[in-house]
Amino acid sequence: MSRPLYIVWQESFTQGEPIIDEQHHGVLSTINTLHYFIQQGYELRELLPTIKILISFLVFHYKTEEGILRSTEYPDIESYDSEMNRVIDEFKAVCEKARTEKSPELVLAYLKNWWHKHLKSHQDITPFLHNWSGEYCRVDK
């Protein structure tokens, strides 16, 4: 019997910037892996390596977007940075709550909600991602 993925990739998720789309695929793949393990009956404490991978993945995904946005002089970069930090802190808190309450579904619900919010944020940032020259930072001479 085939078990469904938690979040299935859709073409509407595509942003048209290869590094961002690739990372989005990776984030969803890791979320779906976490979902698979939870379906198999693993407890959250047993899934800490997967959780740590997710945290790392979210951080480097945000850092990639941040680097591109900085290079294109995105006007709301401070707000983007604040949101990035808030999401990481919030995700860690949700993971801790899920661990103490023995409710890994809290993590999945948070991640699904985050994914939809993150895609919505792309309505504002993707035009700047498309203006990217291919360099992550500029070095002033």
Confidence band (pLDDT; 50, 70, 90) for 138?
very low
* Cβ-contact 25, 9 below 8 angstroms: yes
Please tell me the predicted confidence (pLDDT) of residue 2.
Answer: 67
Please tell me the predicted confidence (pLDDT) of residue 141.
Answer: 41
Residue 93, exposed/middle/buried by CB under 10 A (0-12, 13-18, 19+)? Answer: exposed
CATH topology of domain 15-130: Four Helix Bundle (Hemerythrin (Met), subunit A) (1.20.120)
How far is residue 13's CA from residue 62's CA, in Å, rounded to a whole number?
Answer: 16
Confidence band (pLDDT; 50, 70, 90) for 4?
confident
pLDDT tens-digit profile of 117-134?
A: 999 999 999 998 887 766
How far is residue 73's CA from residue 38's CA, in Å, rounded to a whole number?
Answer: 41
Please tell me the predicted confidence (pLDDT) of residue 129.
Answer: 86
Q: What is the pTM of this model?
A: 0.88
Where along the chain do its domains lie?
15-130
